[in-house]
Amino acid sequence: MVALLIKIRETIARWWSDFTLQTRLMAAATLVVSLLMSGLTFWAVNTIQQDARLNDTRFGRDLGLLLAANVAPLVSESNRTELARFSHSFFGSTSSVRYMIYADEDGEIFFGIPYSESEVQNSLTIRRRIQLPENYAENAEEPMVRQHITPDGEVTDVFVPLNHNGKYLGVMAIGINPNPTVVASSYLTRDVTIAVFISIWVMVILGAVFNALIITKPIKELLLGVKNIAAGNFRQRVDLPVRGELGELILNFNEMAERLESYDEQNIDELTAEKAKLETLVSTIADGAVLLDTDMNVILTNPTAQRIFGWESHEEIIGKNVLYHLPNAVKVELTRPLYQLASGSASDELKDGAEYRITIPDPISRTVRILLNTVFDQYRENIRGIAITVQDITREVELNEAKSQFISNVSHELRTPLFNIKSFIETLHEYGEDLSEVEKREFLETANRETDRLTRLVNDVLDLSKLESHRRYNLEPVEIVQPIEQTLRTHRLNARDKGIELMQDIQPDLPSVLGNYDLLLQVFSNLVGNGLKFTEAGGSVTIRAYALEPEPSHQLSHDSSSHHQSVQPVQPQPMQVRIEVVDTGIGIDPEDQQAIFDRFFRVENRVHTLEGTGLGLSIVQNIIEKHHSQVHLVSEVGAGTTFWFDLPIYQEGTVLFDELPIPEAIASAQAASSVSATA
C-alpha cells in the first residue's frame, strides 16, 4: 500500500512538472476561487439551517406550551379517552407534528401517537418510558428542546412539563418536523454548490489537457529541437499537425534546421580539415605553445610545452589555472605580466610582446625563452586570451658558452707562445750585440719551439674544426695493421730517446675494418703521443687489435639415422675489431677522467709535467664518433692508462659514409654474411 501511494505521488509530481508556469498559476487560482465559492456556499447553507432550527425550536416550544395547557386538566382527571380524542384530532389536523407522547411523573409512557400502550398487559409487555434528567420533576417549569437526525431531516424534540394547580402530572413530548421548504432550499443549495465545484474542476482539467496537447507539447518539441540544434544535430525536425501561429513557428524552425544542415554538410569537411591542420601544426612545432583565457585557465597546449614544463606525468592540464602548474622559476617571472595582460592594464610594450629568458632546474635543467602575446577579438577591442610561446634554448646557451670558452682558451693558448716568441726576438733585436753566441742560439731555439707549439695548436684547431663540420668522410676497408705500424715508425725515435718501449699486439689474419685511413692514423698518433708524454723511462706503450668474439647462436640439426633433431651451437662470424692503446704511465685521477675529452683540458696543468694544446683527445673523440663508435678509457694513478674503441668489420660490397649509423652497417654486414653462407 505504501509503495502504491509513493508511486501515485511520483506520477502526480511528474504530471505536475510537465505543466508550464502559466498553467500551474491558472490551476492554483482556480483552486482558490473554487474553494472560496464552496466555502461561501456552505456558510450560507449552514446559516439557513441554523435559522430554520431556531424557528422550529420556537414553534415547538410555543406549540408545546399551548397543548400542555389544554391536556393538563384531562391528565389530572385521568380522562384518557378525551385525551386520546383531542390528541388524534390535533395530530391529524397538522403536518408539522411528527409524534405526541404522554408520560406520567415517573416517565412511564401511557399514551402516544402514532403508537400507544397495548390494551392487554402481561409479563411480556415492554414498558416504555422517557428518559428525563434527574430532578426534572422538581424544576419542571420550562419546556426542554433538543434535535435529532432522521432520514427525513432534523426533528425538533420538545419536552413540556404537565402542571395543573401547581401539581406535576408528567411530561408531554412532541416532535416537530423540519420546514420542508427550508430543507428543499438547503438541499438545492448544496447540490448546486457541488455541481459548480465539479464543473469548475472539469473545466480546469479539460483546459489543462487542451493546453498540454495543443500548446505544451509543441513547445516542448520545439525546445527539444532547439537543444539538439545547439548540440550540432542539424537533422532535427518537429512534425506536429499544429495550425495557427504555433504551426507557423514550427514550419520556420524546420526551414532553419534544413538550412543549417545544408550549411553543415558544405562546410564541416573543410572546417574539420582546417582544425586538424591547426592541431597538427600546433602539436608538431618545435616550440612549446600554451593558450590561456583571461582567467589564466589553459585552453590549449602542445606536447613540446608539456615536456618543457614537466606536465606529461600530471593529470589533464586543460581547464586548470596555469599558475598552479608552472615551475616555480617561471611562475615568479610570469605571474605579474600575465595578470597585467589579462586585466588590460599592461603597457603598450608588454601588449606588443614580451620576452623572458628563464632557467628551469626541474625536472631537467634547461634554459627557455618565453614570449607573451595578447590575443584580441576580431575587432581588436577586447582581450580574449594570452598566447605563451616557449623555446628551449638550452643547446643554444651551451653552444654560446662553449664558443666563448673556446675563444677564450684559444686566445690564451695563442697569446702564450706569441708572447714568448715576441719577447725573445725583441731581446735579440735590442741586445743582440751584448749576447754571446750560446745565448743567441738558446733564444732562437726557444723561439723555434714556441713557433712549433703555435703551429701544432693552429693545426689542432683546424683539425677539430674540420671534424665538427658537416664534411663527409668515406669509410672504406682499412687493413688496421698499416696505420698502426706507420704510427709506431713515426714515434719510434722519440720513444728510444725517452727510453720507452713501443710494442704492437695484433691478432693474426685480422679482417679489414670500415674506416678512414688518415683519420685513424691521426687517432693512433694522438693516443701514442699522449702515452709517450706521460710514461717515464723504462715504461712501454702498446697497441693491441683483436676481433671481438660474438655470442654463439644455436640451430636445429636432423639426424637421418636416428630420426631425431638436436640443437647444435653455431659460431657466428665476428662483426667488430677492438683496438686498445695501453701505456704504463702516471695514470689519470678519477676526477679528471670525466673531463679528459674536453677541449683544452690538460692533465699536465695538474701534474706540472709537459705542455700540450689540450685538443688531442677531443680530436680523437670526434674521429671515433665519425666512425659511429665511442672511445673509452680505463686508468689507475701510477699504473697506466688504456684507451679503447671498436670498429666494424668490412663486408665485401659494403661502401659506407660517416652518416650511416653503425647498427645499419652491422646489419648490412650480417645480411651479406648470411647471403654468402646460404650460397
Residues with Cβ within 8 Å of 251's Cβ and at least 6 positions away in sequence, in order, are none
Kind plus residue range of the DSSP H or E element containing 112: strand 109-113
Identify the pLDDT of residue 542: 94
AA letter at 589: D
Mean pLDDT of all residues in 150-160 = 79
Taking only the tens place, the pLDDT of each residue in 606-636 is 444 445 556 778 888 888 888 889 999 998 8
Cα Rg of the chain (Å, integer)? 62
- Round to whole Å and give the CA distance between 517 and 481: 11
Using DSSP, state whether 359 is helix, strand or coil. Answer: strand
- pLDDT for residue 664 is more than 80: no
Confidence of residue 540 (pLDDT cuts 50, 70, 90): very high
Cell (9 digits) for 655: 661502401
Cα atoms found within 13 Å of the Cα of residue 400, Cβ hemisphere only: 6
Q: Phi/psi of residue 253, each to 5°?
A: -65, -45
Q: Select the highest-mean-pLDDT range: 101-110, 405-414, 462-471, 653-662.
A: 101-110
Identify the pLDDT of residue 406: 67
Better pLDDT: 153 or 61: 61
Identify the pLDDT of residue 580: 94
- Round to whole Å and give the CA distance between 588 and 628: 26
Kindly state the DSSP code that residue 213 receives in the 8-state scheme: I
The number of angstroms, rounded, from the C-alpha of 24 to the middle of its chain's C-alpha atoms is 41
- Round to whole Å and give the CA distance between 141 and 61: 12
Better pLDDT: 293 or 53: 293
Kindly state the DSSP code that residue 67 receives in the 8-state scheme: H
Angle at 506 between CA 504 and CA 509, to 5 degrees: 150
Identify the pLDDT of residue 342: 82
Residue the block writes with cell 480546469: 204
Q: Within a 10 A sphere around the Cβ of 327, how many other Cβ atoms? A: 17
Kindly state the DSSP code that residue 345 receives in the 8-state scheme: -
Taking only the tens place, the pLDDT of each residue in 637-646 is 888 999 999 9
Taking only the tens place, the pLDDT of each residue in 259-308 is 777 777 777 667 677 777 777 777 777 788 888 888 889 888 888 888 88
Q: Select the highest-mean-pLDDT range: 114-118, 256-260, 472-476, 531-535.
A: 531-535
Taking only the tens place, the pLDDT of each residue in 314-350 is 667 888 888 888 888 888 888 888 888 888 777 776 7
Mean of per-residue pLDDT scores for the chain: 76
Q: If we measure between CA atoms, which residue out of 196, 138, 146, 212 comes closest to residue 175?
A: 146
Lowest-confidence range among 239-243, 467-471, 675-679? 675-679
Better pLDDT: 494 or 150: 494
Using DSSP, state whether 124 is helix, strand or coil. Answer: coil
- Round to whole Å and give the CA distance between 80 and 87: 10
Q: If we measure between CA atoms, which residue out of 623, 660, 659, 626 comes closest to residue 643?
A: 623
Residues with Cβ within 8 Å of 601's Cβ and at least 6 positions away in sequence, in order, are 592, 595, 614, 617
- pLDDT for residue 454 is more than 60: yes
Query: Please, are residues 123 and 200 in contact by the beta-carbon 8 Å criterion?
Result: no
Mean pLDDT of all residues in 558-574 = 48
Residue the block writes with cell 636416428: 562
